[in-house]
Amino acid sequence: MGGGVGCAIAYPVAKKLHALGCEVHSIVGFRNKDLVILEDEFNAVSDKLVMMTDDGSHGEKGLVTAALEKLINDGNEYDEVIAIGPLIMMKFVCATTKKYGVKTMVSMNPIMIDGTGMCGGCRLTVGGETKFACVDGPDFDGHLVDFDEAMHRGSMYKDFEAHARDNACNLLNK
């Protein structure tokens, strides 16, 4: 599969929240229109869907964080934001929501390597404590995650990082 890893993880989350009766606002971002996946699926389970592409070839041009900030500034109040995608995207989503005091969960799937607790590749610091994404997560309070450390470690896995940069995705749960 090409890009869309983050969105592929986020979609079932959005679907479930929608099924539970939550108001769901989704913001999904891709580098360009050729990488867009799951648009119809997200549309079907979202009360609001904002498509973003880096180059503006589909939806609006820009980063998902800009769309998120606009929704908040437009007066939308969110109980929780769920961010799933590349580390850099989740880092900036968390910086944005922290500013507005909105609880944010992140999925640290992108830093997992073997998923068995053996490789140590998914080690991260959350609230000053050492955690393993595959054992203790993958979902964590985004405001407590040390993204800079995680990104530094992630640079050891260049292929994976390049893959993760293929897409950015997050969804909002109102």
Give the interface with ligand FES as residue ranges (CB under 6 A): 112-122, 132-134
Query: In this complex, which beta carbon is closest to ligand FES, that of residue 91 or of residue 131?
Result: 131
Segment (H or E) for 3? none
CA neighbor of 8 nearest in space, from 172, 170, 147, 174: 170
Query: In this complex, which beta carbon is closest to ligand FES, that of residue 44 or of residue 119?
Result: 119
In angstroms, give the least distance from the CB of 121 to ligand FES. 5
Query: In this complex, which beta carbon is closest to ligand FES, that of residue 117 or of residue 127?
Result: 117
Is residue 167 packed enough to be buried (19+ CB in 10 Å), middle (13-18) or exposed (0-12)?
Answer: buried
Task: Kindly give, in sequence order, each residue whose CB lies less than 8 Å from that of residue 61, ignoring residues fewer than 6 positions away.
Answer: 52, 53, 54, 55
In angstroms, give the least distance from the CB of 1 to ligand FES. 19
Token digits of residue 151: 């990104």
In angstroms, give the least distance from the CB of 99 to ligand FES. 31
